[in-house]
Structure 1
């Protein structure tokens, strides 16, 4: 069978009666046939409203099967632009303006500042009315504002059309717009399906936000590419995770390390559910997974943990550890898993195994470039390779080990220190549950090493004890001069720990 080149073709290749979308709380599943029909109706509705191919549709919906369905169905004939429902009014104004959105889809009756912002900008608002009785994710679209006129290009999208537009996180600069074509996202879905050996019998429990590339691609589109099912929760909730695990009976789930750690914290009181679990593997991505957490996850779930490496510009997956019997290397993000992966020096020369440099990629899943940003594109692309901004090293077997984001490396008097190396050492302390190492300003050295630490429940350790522990295992310049004990470390919208700006958030920047 030829590989599908558009989202509509993807839905058409699966068995029509097979379940595609599900949700906890005993919601009936939506079949592939019904999802394909919903996509056709959605494209017809959008075309009738004057929205067609390459037109951007902002989507502000809570996590759940309707968000997954809207992503696929709107994308079948227009360009989807999912936005974080928790944004403030000024953030919605930036993103809707930057996108030049042709319409905004919101949940019927939902109170969101996005509505008022859309009206202010003259962006027509379309309400999505869920109908779960007809299957998870079933919806109808109802315009609240006058629209109309024929779209410039109607009908189903074509392979080079933009399926999805997301913005980079913009931690140190203005967020950059990343357009991803149908060809990009379907290549990535195929890569993930092949890496994980997904089949129609697989069921993914999605706990990732669906305004982020990880949840959209790994959980949702890779499942659909395999003809399998994705069960869409309302979002991550450590208190409900084990009940969902028991009800949905998934064969896998994918999450960021902080989510895995929250799940592990509740595993002890859910032994019966764990004994009944049928997880085939657990996947981790979007941030480095401490080897200690990987080992604990494998012990608790009695299943391999597959760490992968992804980013928005690559439609998510770039590298992944393989499934058994091939080796998984703790601390490594695995082998090239779709695009070509190499390591490059500052001058643009590719480096041999064992040499540290910037991780670069090229392949069918990689964006053609940032939109309307020639300066960023000039920096990001070298001789056809995309520069990821991550520093890493490939070993002789082709496994990639990341040493940190280039912009997160701590420059202590000219000595470049990898925060990940310090994280791993402190995670070995028996009282430590979570750690993030970061830079604090220093008047003479420029930057100094600091770490924020969350202790395990019922455990104690002082800053001095943790510093002494690190000093036995690290050279002096890498030992944190300041360790802050916290009940919780601030996280980003997707649950990732954020090193950049942490000194300011914790009042350590003066």
Structure 2
């Protein structure tokens, strides 16, 4: 069992097919597998092998694939780090994971990631080796004093046997986004990766995913499963984008005839806001599937996108801890912004009360998930693992409900619930309602201490460009929209909201 065998098989079957398009260059599957083999051989020459933990911090560029599959080919564990972290957090994750080496890109645009990552690696006690990954895998290092990926692979054979893992051996460690505090390391096994790739494979027609424009970061579980591993299994083309640039994305969709795109709803809103010069007819000829997740999909955004490009935005729901997808909303009515679709075949989910008993349709409770994607454990956190993973069920911490048609609504987080006296307020429910106002672009709700009620709900709102609105008028509109007792008592306008690397609101930074 090894997800890297997908690359071997596809490179054998269609070696000349285009695997990656990046920065104006094209890479065949033959080139990608040979580079991954050279990385694998180079790592083995450095003394790494089965069980070694090797960190990978790289944007969406060809070197990510070479390093990722090279690490897995030798039976090592890929510790995949976010490329937006600061030195303190990089050092924590290197130390927490026991990473013995780091493969790291230098940065992108005006962000010198290496300035944060390399001091962290030097300070991490187990991290003995570092290599820099340039935009082009064969290029020399751009960071003085540190060798490049090309130095690791120099003189190495482009052939390498791929080692098999046991099904429950850890293959990848991903760190949660940390929207509510310090991230946790999620251990995913080879079985997790392979089985969830197979489940995702059945959710879309081959013609819809033939050319994947991958803007979702490859350090994220969605990017790895839906953007990379599934594309490699199918022998599809990945058009890699290193940073979210709407003009570049629109251009590449047309130039590369991209058929598939996935990102969070806010990024579709950014795309629509910068679509004035887009060749609508060319986009309509190309795109076949646009998916989204991670936040409620607003009716106005869904309607506007479909009216312009003739294509529905398909919501989904998943988590790092269950190796991506739980529910999928294609080919069905979506009555509410919080509706994410039906649970996908091969995965089980229930909405349960505090004692773990399944609730009836319409009743709200915690979403529990069971299936082949459920993680092995949280790294170095046995108590947290025992709390969240019980009898094969992963307790997601998300509040949801099923309707009478088996569709799942995701309403918010258990730990986000605001207890205002005897009233229960779920931030996602309030935020979804607010985003239905024609003047509101983004909104976030948090709980703050209150001497009388225990907690009060405070809302942070970003208005659309050119819109003006008073806080009193917006709260009055919201009170008429929400059920009694759900309206927040405080509201504050903001220019923007702080985001995590994956585009979720970083609530812990709001005050």
| TM-score class normalised by the smaller sequence | 0.7 to 0.9
Number of corresponding residues: 483
Assess if the C-alpha contact under 8 Å between 2:178 and 2:500 holds in 1.
no
- State the Cα distance separating 1:449 from its structure 2 match: 2.0
For 1:225-304, what aligned pairs fall within 5 Å after superposition?
225-272=233-280, 277-304=285-312
Summarize the Cα distance change of 1:464–1:117 in structure 2 as closer, same or farther, 3 Å threshold: same
Residue of structure 1 in register with 2:123 after alignment: 120
Instruction: Report SS of the residue matched to 1:449.
Output: strand
Question: Is 2:45 the partner of 1:37?
Answer: no
Residue of structure 1 in register with 2:390 after alignment: 382
Summarize the Cα distance change of 1:499–1:13 in structure 2 as closer, same or farther, 3 Å threshold: same
Instruction: Report SS of the residue matched to 2:88.
Output: helix
Residue of structure 2 in register with 1:454 after alignment: 462
Assess if the C-alpha contact under 8 Å between 2:2 and 2:72 holds in 1.
no
Summarize the Cα distance change of 1:24–1:48 in structure 2 as closer, same or farther, 3 Å threshold: closer
Assess if the C-alpha contact under 8 Å between 2:498 and 2:509 holds in 1.
no
CA RMSD between the two structures:
2.5
Question: Is 2:13 the partner of 1:8?
Answer: no
Q: 2:94 aligns with which of 93, 96, 110?
A: 96
Instruction: Report SS of the residue matched to 1:142.
Output: helix
Gaps of 5+ in 1: 145-153, 505-510
For 1:288-437, what aligned pairs fall within 5 Å after superposition?
288-322=296-330, 324=331, 326-331=332-337, 332-337=339-344, 338-437=346-445
- CA distance in 2 between counterparts of 1:232 and 1:193 reads 20
- State the Cα distance separating 1:328 from its structure 2 match: 4.5
Summarize the Cα distance change of 1:354–1:272 in structure 2 as closer, same or farther, 3 Å threshold: closer
Residue of structure 1 in register with 2:156 after alignment: none
Instruction: Report SS of the residue matched to 2:198.
Output: helix
Gaps of 5+ in 2: 140-147, 154-160
TM-score normalised per structure 2: 0.87
Question: Is 2:219 the partner of 1:211?
Answer: yes
Assess if the C-alpha contact under 8 Å between 1:298 and 1:304 holds in 2.
yes
Assess if the C-alpha contact under 8 Å between 2:57 and 2:104 holds in 1.
yes
Assess if the C-alpha contact under 8 Å between 1:359 and 1:390 holds in 2.
yes
- CA distance in 2 between counterparts of 1:374 and 1:408 reads 23
TM-score normalised per structure 1: 0.88
- State the Cα distance separating 1:472 from its structure 2 match: 1.6
Assess if the C-alpha contact under 8 Å between 2:500 and 2:506 holds in 1.
yes
Deviations, residues 8-42 of structure 1 (Å, cap 9, x unaligned): 221133332353532354311x2223323333222
Deviations, residues 406-440 of structure 1 (Å, cap 9, x unaligned): 11122111311122222222222221222222223
- State the Cα distance separating 1:68 from its structure 2 match: 3.6
Assess if the C-alpha contact under 8 Å between 1:56 and 1:103 holds in 2.
yes
Question: Is 2:154 the partner of 1:156?
Answer: no
Assess if the C-alpha contact under 8 Å between 1:193 and 1:222 holds in 2.
yes
Summarize the Cα distance change of 1:25–1:43 in structure 2 as closer, same or farther, 3 Å threshold: closer
Instruction: Report SS of the residue matched to 2:507.
Output: coil
- State the Cα distance separating 1:361 from its structure 2 match: 0.8
Summarize the Cα distance change of 1:199–1:173 in structure 2 as closer, same or farther, 3 Å threshold: same
Deviations, residues 389-411 of structure 1 (Å, cap 9, x unaligned): 10111122221111111111221
- CA distance in 2 between counterparts of 1:439 and 1:248 reads 46
Summarize the Cα distance change of 1:25–1:92 in structure 2 as closer, same or farther, 3 Å threshold: closer
